[in-house]
Amino acid sequence: MRQAIYEAKGRAREFSELACNIFSGCEHSCLYCWSPQVTRKTKDEFAKPEIRITAHDVLASAKKWAAKGEVRRVLLCITTDPYTMIEQETQLTRKCIMALHQEGMNVTILTKGGLRSTRDFDLLTPKDAYATTLTLTNDSDSLIWEPKASFPSERIEALMQAHERGIETWASFEPVIYPEQTMTLLNTIKDFIGHVKIGTLNYHAHGKTTDWYKFGWDIKEYCDNWRIKYYLKHDLLKEMKVNPADFKQTWICR
For 198-226, what is each residue's pLDDT tens digit? 999 998 999 999 999 999 999 999 999 99
The rounded radius of gyration (Å) of the Cα atoms in the chain is 17
- What pLDDT does 41 receive? 87
* The pLDDT value given to residue 73: 98
pTM: 0.95
Element (H, E) at 181: helix 179-189
Given phi > 0 = left and psi -120 to 50 = alpha, else beta, which region is 78? alpha
- CA dist 222 → 82, 195, 226, 240 (Å): 31, 13, 6, 15
Domains contained in the chain, CATH given:
5-205 (3.20.20.70)
pLDDT category at 251 given cuts 50, 70, 90 is: confident
- Mean pLDDT score of the chain, rounded to an integer? 95
The fraction of the chain above a pLDDT of 70, given in percent, is 99
Q: Which residue has the higher pLDDT, 85 or 114?
A: 114
Which pLDDT belongs to residue 3?
A: 79
pLDDT value of residue 225: 97
Question: Average pLDDT for residues 1-15, to the nearest whole number?
Answer: 89
**Three-state secondary-structure class, residue 173:** strand
Cα 16–177–151 angle (5° rounding)? 80
Q: Is the pLDDT of residue 1 over 60?
A: no
Residue 114 Rama label (left phi>0; alpha psi -120 to 50; beta): left
Q: For residue 37, what pLDDT is reported? A: 81
Mean pLDDT along residues 154-178: 98
| Higher-scoring residue by pLDDT: 187, 43 | 187
Q: What is the mean pLDDT of residues 141-166?
A: 97
- 135: nearest Cα among 118, 150, 121, 157: 150
pLDDT at 39 (0 to 100):
83
Strand runs labelled E in the chain: 5-7, 18-20, 23-24, 50-51, 74-76, 107-111, 129-133, 168-173, 195-198, 229-232
Q: What is the pLDDT of residue 36?
A: 85
Nearest to 68 by CA among 20, 104, 95, 40: 104
How far is it, in rounded angstroms, from Cα 115 to Cα 180?
A: 25
pLDDT for res 254: 67
